[in-house]
Amino acid sequence: MPSLISFKSYGSLINPSTSVLKTVKVADSRLRLLAAKWSNLPEKALETLQRDVLQEVKPSAFQSLQQHSQDTHVLDKDLRDDHMTILVKKITDLYSKIFLHQFSKVYSERIVRQEAPSKRQKLNKFILFGND
């Protein structure tokens, strides 16, 4: 069965590596847990998410970058922002933006689909049709 990428790519999309897929899957599972309790998220929830994903993914993903960091930064053993760390944080950040955008869109649609129109819709009609 062909994957979505091969079906939609028309030859121009790039297949993600297993490390990228693993990073996205871990970020997705963590974001779903955060979305379940979205009403009282901590202030630095996305930073915590990046840290958690990095801790889970770092031992087994991006082996070539780990080797590169060890070879390049021999003197700095306590390097915090090596290439792999930056890459995992960027992937997590981009995926979280996509996820939260979709989550907020679905959540807003559920509110609008209720029987009563939203306050925004009421005020919009009020302004457009002049106090009717």
Q: Mean pLDDT per segment of 10 residues, for the chain of length 132 residues?
A: 66 78 90 79 80 84 67 57 81 90 82 66 74 58
Is 112 within a domain? yes
Is residue 59, in this structure, part of any structural domain at all?
A: yes
Domain for residue 7, yes or no? no
Number of domains in the chain: 1
Give the pLDDT of residue 106.
82
> Is 89 contained in some domain?
yes
pLDDT at 118: 64
* Residues across the chain: 132
Structure tokens at 115: 């029987």
Asked, for residue 2, whether it belongs to a domain, the answer is: no
Domain residue limits at 109: 18-34+43-72+80-129
Task: Flag whether 115 is in a domain.
Answer: yes
* The two three-digit tokens of residue 28, written as one number: 């997705």
- Asked if the structure places residue 99 within a domain, the reply is yes
Instruction: Please indicate, yes or no, if residue 9 is contained in any of the structural domains.
Output: no
Distances 89 to 5, 20, 24, 46, 110 between C-alpha atoms, Å? 23, 11, 11, 10, 31
